[in-house]
Amino acid sequence: MSEPTNMTSQNRQQPHEWRTSSYSSYNGNCVEVGQTGSGVAIRHSKQPNGPVLFFSSEEWHLFLLGVRSGELD
């Protein structure tokens, strides 16, 4: 897996739209994902104004590969 990217504040733009997985329950205790110009942003649905994690497109792709292969079970 590659080293995490040191994303600048320019790359940390908020997404225009946040999505929640269709597998999530609707109790407000979900992770939301949004596409940015340079990658993906993730936040907790109960804290929409709270901290946001930012990942480059490559980091997000590698994370999804790990999840789908069972590497993170």
**Spatial separation of the C-alpha atoms in residues 16 and 52, rounded to whole Å:** 14
Instruction: Name the helix (H) or strand (E) containing 69.
Output: helix 57-69
pTM of the model: 0.71
Task: Indicate the residue type of 61.
Answer: H
φ, ψ dihedrals at 42, nearest 5°: -130, 140
Q: Which residue has the higher pLDDT, 18 or 22?
A: 18
* Residue 29 confidence class, pLDDT cut points 50, 70, 90: confident
CA distance 28 to 57: 26
Average pLDDT in the chain? 82
Quick one: average pLDDT of 54-63?
A: 94
Q: Assign 65 to helix, strand or coil.
A: helix
**What is the predicted pLDDT for the residue at 70?**
95
Highest-confidence range of 3-12, 25-34, 49-58, by mean pLDDT?
49-58
